[in-house]
Amino acid sequence: MDRTPLSRERVRALLRTARQRRILVVGDVMLDRFIWGHVSRISPEAPVPVVEFERESFMPGGAANVARNLAALGCSVELFGVVGTDAEARQLHDLLRDHHIGCDGLLRLPGRCTSVKTRIVAQKQQVVRLDRESNGPLPPPAAGRLHRRLARAVPAADAVIVADYAKGLITNELLHLIKPLCRRHAVWLSLDPKPVHGLDLTGLSLLTPNRREAFELAGLRDTRHASNPLEDGPLQEAAARLMERFQPALLLVTLGDQGMLLCTRDGRPVHIPTVAREVFDVSGAGDTVIAAFTLAIVAGASPAEAAALANHAAGIVVGKFGTATASPEEILASFPPA
Q: Annotated active-site positions, please?
A: 287
- Nearest Cα to 168, choosing from 213, 253, 212, 107? 107
**319 to 68, 133, 322: CA distances (angstroms):** 17, 28, 10
Integer-rounded Cα Rg, in Å, for the chain is: 20
Instruction: Answer for the pair 41, 65: CB distance below 8 angstroms, yes or no.
Output: no
DSSP conformation letters of 87-142: HHHHHHHHHHHHTT-EEEEEEE-TT-PPEEEEEEEETTEEEEEEEE---SPPPHHH
Amino acid in the structure at residue 133: E
Largest CA distance in the chain: 64
Residue 140 burial (C-beta neighbours within 10 Å; 0-12, 13-18, 19+) = exposed
Instruction: Answer for the pair 170, 28: CB distance below 8 angstroms, yes or no.
Output: yes
Strands in 188-192's sheet, in edge-to-edge order, are 102-108, 76-83, 22-27, 159-163, 188-192, 206-207, 250-254, 260-264, 270-272
Query: Strand 49-62 to strand 270-272: parallel, antiparallel, or no bridges (unpaired)?
Result: unpaired
Residue 122, Ramachandran bin (φ over 0: left; ψ between -120 and 50: alpha; else beta): beta
Query: Please, what's the b/e burial string for 317-334 (b: 16 or more CB within 10 A of its CB; e: otherwise)?
Result: bbbbebbbbbebebbeeb
